[in-house]
Amino acid sequence: MASQLVREWAGIQQFPVATQTALHRLLGKLKQESVDTLTILVLGKGGVGKSSTVNSIVGERVAIVSAFQSEAMRPLICSRSRAGFTLNIIDTPGLIEGGFVNDHALDLIKRFLINKTIDILLYVDRLDGYRVDDLDMQVTKAISKSFGQQIWRRGLVVLTHAQLSPPDELRYADFVDRRSAILQAVVRKAAGFKKSETQIPVVLVENSGRCNTNSGGEKVLSDGTVWLPYLVEKIVEVATNGSKPILIDKKLIEGPDANQWGKRWIPLFLAFQYFFIVKPIRRGIQKDIQREKSERPAWEIYDETGDKTIFFKRG
């Protein structure tokens, strides 16, 4: 991260005063835990609002969003500094193309992340997706395979387009609970979590400029939640939950080096070869030599100096 250009986090001053106060309090909590740098990786399918969420967190338009190109075509890192704290947030291309995992995009992301440490994973989807299908399982499994299941222990599920009106027969809270539970189940399966382990947090987000606001000008959801400070609060909780950040190195991306794995067995193989092949062959040769000597006529035996010793039979 050292080579990345770090700018002053000016966007934080664009938030309403109450939001600024909440964010400074949360950043102070991180510093109390000796966390002065936080790197957030944003992953998910295309068109779910990853780039818009990045812009909302930073308070600046750092990722391009339009009606015709909703996200970055390649990974993009934004670094901002404020009061001795540095935020790195990584926007990424969508992981699905043509109904399948986009291996090209995934490879671009993996190469981009080499030697970077990820503190937080934001897995982004839409609240108004209504259904979970095989694509969701494909994506979550691809993330686990690419970056290791442990990355989910540093993860949150972020559901965008949260300012919606659910179907008539459901209350907003019930709809959110159902949608969250289904996605949590998919993620838990991909992450290999045990039943006894806690659920991955789910946070609702509404990036639209038409999002409702409270009297202080803060963006709020249908239930009155001021969502941006709440999102950052959950990020802080995960960052300080005791799990280890994920270092994305070649070993994690490519798996163990087969050659290195094989080298571990060389000493054992040589020992096996010596004790079970070489030594038995050597003993066999020595026995053959001794047997051959014992079966020779006396007049063919040489003494140790190489002189021939001849024995005569008495008549």
How far is residue 170's CA from residue 222's CA, in Å, rounded to a whole number?
14
What does pLDDT average to over the chain? 85
**Cβ proximity of 143 and 190 under 8 Å:** yes
pLDDT of residue 57: 96
**Cβ proximity of 239 and 38 under 8 Å:** yes
The pLDDT of residue 264 is above 80? no
The pLDDT of residue 305 is above 60? no
Categorize the per-residue pLDDT at 2 as very low, low, confident or very high, splitting at 50, 70 and 90.
very low
Categorize the per-residue pLDDT at 129 as very low, low, confident or very high, splitting at 50, 70 and 90.
confident
| Nearest of 147, 152, 163, 132 to residue 241 by alpha carbon | 152
Question: For the residues 252-265, what does the mean pLDDT come to?
Answer: 59
Q: Greatest CA span in the chain, whole angstroms?
A: 135
Question: For the residues 149-159, what does the mean pLDDT come to?
Answer: 95
* DSSP-based three-state secondary structure for 106: helix
Helix (H) / strand (E) containing 158? strand 155-160
Which residue reads 């992981």 in tokens? 95
| Known binding-site residue numbers for Mg(2+) | 51, 69
| Known binding-site residue numbers for GTP | 47-52, 66-71, 161, 206-207
- The yes or no reply on domain 7-257 and CATH 3.40.50.300 is yes
Q: What percent of the chain has pLDDT over 70?
A: 81
The count of other CB atoms within 10 Å of the CB of residue 179 is 24
**Cβ proximity of 142 and 95 under 8 Å:** yes
The count of other CB atoms within 10 Å of the CB of residue 228 is 23
**Cβ proximity of 139 and 45 under 8 Å:** yes
pLDDT of residue 306: 53
Question: For the residues 7-25, what does the mean pLDDT come to?
Answer: 94
DSSP β-ladder status, 76-82 and 85-91: antiparallel
Q: Residue 311: which residues within 8 A CB-CB, separation 6 or more?
A: 298, 299
Question: For the residues 173-181, what does the mean pLDDT come to?
Answer: 93
The pLDDT of residue 315 is above 60? no
How far is residue 45's CA from residue 94's CA, in Å, rounded to a whole number?
5
**Cβ proximity of 140 and 123 under 8 Å:** yes
| Known binding-site residue numbers | 47-52, 66-71, 161, 206-207
DSSP assignments along 191-251, one per residue? HT--TTSPPPPEEE----TT--B-TTS-BB-TT--BHHHHHHHHHHHHHTSSPPPEEE-HH
| Nearest of 73, 70, 85 to residue 25 by alpha carbon | 85
pTM of the predicted structure, to 2 decimals:
0.79
How far is residue 31's CA from residue 239's CA, in Å, rounded to a whole number?
11
How far is residue 121's CA from residue 53's CA, in Å, rounded to a whole number?
13
pLDDT of residue 67: 55
Tokens of 175: 């709809």
Q: Give the pLDDT confidence of 183-233 residue by residue, as tens digits.
A: 999 999 999 988 888 889 999 999 998 999 999 999 999 889 999 999 999
Most trustworthy range by pLDDT among 59-68, 129-138, 248-257, 269-278: 129-138
The pLDDT of residue 99 is above 80? yes
Domain locations along the chain:
7-257
pLDDT of residue 64: 74
The pLDDT of residue 1 is above 50? no
* DSSP-based three-state secondary structure for 19: helix
Categorize the per-residue pLDDT at 5 as very low, low, confident or very high, splitting at 50, 70 and 90.
confident
pLDDT of residue 293: 65
* DSSP-based three-state secondary structure for 17: helix
